Amino acid sequence: MENGNSPSISAIPKLEKKLLERIGNSKVSLRIMHVCGTHERTIAKNGLRSILPKSIEVISGPGCPVCVTPEEDIDIAIVLARNGMTVVTFGDMMRVPGSSESLLDSKSEGADVRMVYSIDDAVALAEKKPELEVVFFGIGFETTIPANAASLLRNTPDNFSLLTSQKRTPPAIGILANDTEVDAFIAPGHVATIIGTKPFEPLAKKGFPVVVSGFEVRDILLGINMLQIQIEEGCSRVDNGYPRVVKQEGNQVALEMMDKVFETSDSEWRGIGRIENSGLVLRKKFEEKDAAKKYKDIYASFVKTIRKEAEIKDKKCCICAAILTGKAKPPQCPNFGQTCTPKSPVGPCMISQEGMCYNWLRYSREGGSRLA
């Protein structure tokens, strides 16, 4: 099942075939949303949409961390880089456009922007180069946030700070449940590894069946069938389809570290807007490490300049907002595969390997869906 273009049924392994039979035998039709770029990658790469029965539609929500990072936060990182800070972040994040340009564009204009693989690399750079003011632009979901917390609980050098654009997954799913036509949710297994299954319970209480799934083809098929079973039983609950990794209570050590360092705040999501309690910012105790506070005077006025630059730039229409909320599919975008490709991305969904446009273009123009 390596090809996104309709794998032949005889090539499907036994267990997956059995799960497909069970899904096909169920009379339950479902429109399911997953909220994870890794799930989308497995689905597109293996052409799952082409082998699922027509009664099952799987759509993607906001599962890619760089895709949901708002332009405003990227603008702040760019202003800091333009004003002498050394801004370090993940490779994909460097390519995502803010309102005027990306961090990579700023780098090509002379700003000190560097790629790192983790916050630890950023701290190591600050230790090695005390003459630099190192700002780690920390984005992502509950999967990467514990590492940020762990670093800050150790002593970091004075010339290190964190610009956070960290997101909590459950509040965003809650908003989508109200806004999008969807019957059930596949919750991300890696996020649930940290936070457990309980934070998804309010969704089930609203009447949406939820299953926490892993990332193999069989995990996703099992998850779909578990959702059908909930509907057949006439209930909605949170099922754990990834028990080899996920515990109901999550990872207590990681949760405690996160709680010591961060507190919840409202947060802006690209394509969705402001969501109550969906962000994690540094607690007062760590404000010296908070780049948003430390450099506020520097970026406050310059961000306006960037917005003005944006107004005079010819922005190509990008429908990532609709894609991130399950309201559109990549081929509906006129730029898809034309003016927007992974080498020359127009919007964030074409940049990361977790982006929906990237996966649909790379593995199949239809995201492994039925063409008819």
Binding site for ligand SF4 (CB under 6 A): 318-320, 323, 330, 333, 335-336, 340, 346-347, 349-350, 357
| Bridge partners (DSSP) listed for residue 273 | 269
Which letter does DSSP use for residue 4 in this model? S
Would you say 86 and 135 are in contact if contact means Cβ atoms under 8 Å apart?
Answer: yes
| Bridge partners (DSSP) listed for residue 239 | 211
| Bridge partners (DSSP) listed for residue 184 | 32
Q: CB nearer to ligand SF4: give 147 or 328.
A: 328
Q: CB nearer to ligand SF4: give 242 or 269.
A: 269
3-state secondary structure of 336: strand
SS3 content of the chain, % helix, strand, coil (to 5): 45, 15, 35
Q: CB nearer to ligand SF4: give 241 or 347.
A: 347
CB of residue 107 vs ligand SF4: minimum separation in angstroms? 21
Q: Which residue in this structure is represented by tokens 């590492």? A: 147
Q: Is the dihedral of CA 72, 78, 82, 86 positive or negative?
A: positive
Alpha-carbon span 33 to 62, nearest angstrom: 10
Which letter does DSSP use for residue 12 in this model? S
CB of residue 270 vs ligand SF4: minimum separation in angstroms? 11
CB of residue 57 vs ligand SF4: minimum separation in angstroms? 20
Q: CB nearer to ligand SF4: give 160 or 336.
A: 336
241 CB-near residues (< 8 Å, 6+ apart): 211, 212, 213, 214, 219, 222, 223, 226
Q: CB nearer to ligand SF4: give 147 or 310.
A: 310
Q: CB nearer to ligand SF4: give 97 or 196.
A: 97
Q: CB nearer to ligand SF4: give 42 or 60.
A: 60
Residue nearest to ligand SF4 (CB): 347
CB of residue 47 vs ligand SF4: minimum separation in angstroms? 20
CB of residue 109 vs ligand SF4: minimum separation in angstroms? 23
Give the containing element (helix H, strand E) for 265: strand 262-269
CB of residue 198 vs ligand SF4: minimum separation in angstroms? 34
CB of residue 80 vs ligand SF4: minimum separation in angstroms? 25
